[in-house]
Amino acid sequence: MKYLVTGTAGFIGLHVSLRLLREGHEVVGLDNMNSYYDPALKTYRLAQLNPYERFTFLELDLTDRQGIAELFRGEHFDRVIHLAAQAGVRHSLKAPFDYVDSNLVGMMTILEGCRHQQVEHLVFASSSSVYGMNSTIPFSETDSVDYPVSLYAATKKSCELMAHSYAHLYGLPVTGLRFFTVYGPGGRPDMAPWLFTEAIVNDQPIKVFNHGEMARDFTYIDDVVECVARLQNVIPGWQRQEEGTARAPYKIYNVGNHQPVELKRFIAAIEQSCGKTAEKIYLDMQPGDVLKTYADTSRLNAVISYAPQRSIEQGVEHFVRWYQDSWLSGGRDADDGRHKLRC
């Protein structure tokens, strides 16, 4: 089959594209290669994909309405996996319009392309951040997510609403995935696994927010890829999300580990893998942050007979090995695909 994967030079986009290519599919990967974080990492990721004959890279911005419309007019995609977005809760306080542009306008151009081309299935990335300060745990897809605490979360919830309307109006089958703190080799430099590892390796102090009283449902990248690979084959039929609401071929799934990890245990795992103890600066909670994330994965497990399960100690060990052995020793300078990911 032929797939469009947006955000292909991003962390999750790389791994999902690799999986599809290894299964023999054709992948058109789209990314604008923005500099929200070091573009060298995006080049490094593309270098993993370029050797595949069935991979084509397209540098294009989602907000380029004409460009995206032309793409869909010129090529037929069986399925679209839409992962490109402006990610990061904290950055949404500093650069709100980046979120409006990439996440809202970007979702719109993809929805329009998919409906005109009658794509078989659109799978898109939402986020656990839509649960905000939800106090009912674990977080269930049926919980109310009407009260976001960051603009990032608000845009992801908006993407879900936009997707539902297109599913209802045009019969476009859409699946939204609420990812829970994804980490692993090739991960994002703005997230805690990278920030802490980098600081500890360089003997720099780490900032521990809310004095360490936080927990995250960390989800290892291989588990996430497995879920995406299986779910893109589960095309939602017409259904109501709740009694008394409109029918649409639409479904939302939590993609999490169902195992919240205390910040202290997470830091201890990185210290163990780095073989060093971190100097810690304890700080208050940051605006927009949430205390705990915890995924109810029963809906996920029911349809794909799989749910993420990797322990934080195993996952962190893989990430730290990759960071030291692959990224620091040459990966940063990749341009020709010689540096392979060790997952």
Binding site for ligand NAD (CB under 6 A): 7, 9-13, 31-34, 42, 61-63, 83-87, 102, 106, 125, 127, 179, 181-182, 188
* Cβ nearer to ligand NAD, comparing 131 with 250: 131
Type of residue numbered 225: V
CB 293 within 8 A of CB 139: yes
Tell me whether residue 30 or residue 240 sits nearer to ligand NAD (CB atom).
Answer: 30
Known catalytic membership, residue 152? yes
Residue closer to ligand NAD by CB (options 31, 271) is: 31
Contact 64, 6 (CB under 8 A): no
- The residues pairing with 175 across neighbouring beta strands, listed in sequence order, are 123, 251
Of the pair 34, 246, the CB lying nearest ligand NAD is at 34
Which region, left, alpha or beta, applies to residue 61 given φ > 0 means left and ψ of -120 to 50 means alpha? beta
Q: How far is the CB of 247 from ligand NAD (least distance, A)?
A: 27
Closest distance to ligand NAD from the beta carbon of 123 (Å): 11
Which residues, at least 6 apart from 124, have a Cβ–Cβ distance to it below 8 Å? 81, 82, 83, 107, 110, 159, 163, 174, 175, 176, 177
Closest to ligand NAD by CB, 46 vs 167, is 46
Alpha carbon distance 9, 90 (integer Å)? 21
Instruction: Find the shortest distance in angstroms from Cβ 182 to ligand NAD.
Output: 4
The continuous run of DSSP H or E covering 27 comes out as: strand 26-31
Instruction: Supply the minimum distance, in Å, between the C-beta of residue 87 and ligand NAD.
Output: 4
Cβ closest to ligand NAD, residue 11 vs residue 323: 11
Q: State both tokens at 134.
A: 């939800």
- Cα–Cα distance measured from residue 27 to residue 20, given in angstroms and rounded to the nearest whole number: 7
Which residue's CB atom is positioned nearest to ligand NAD? 10
Nearer to ligand NAD, 181 or 259 (CB): 181
Task: Report the chain's terminal Cα–Cα distance, integer Å.
Answer: 25
Using CA atoms, how far apart are residues 334 and 44, in angstroms rounded to an integer?
5
From the list 3, 152, 220, 323, the catalytic residue is 152
Q: Which residues, in sequence order, are CB contacts of 294 under 8 Å at separation 6+?
A: 137, 138, 139, 215, 217, 256, 258, 260
CB of 272 to ligand NAD, least distance (A): 22
The nearest distance, CB 199 to ligand NAD, in angstroms, is 19
**Vertex 85: Cα angle to 17 and 1 (nearest 5):** 30
CB of residue 95 to ligand NAD, shortest distance in Å: 12
Distance CA 326, CA 6 (A): 25
Active site (catalytic) residues: 152
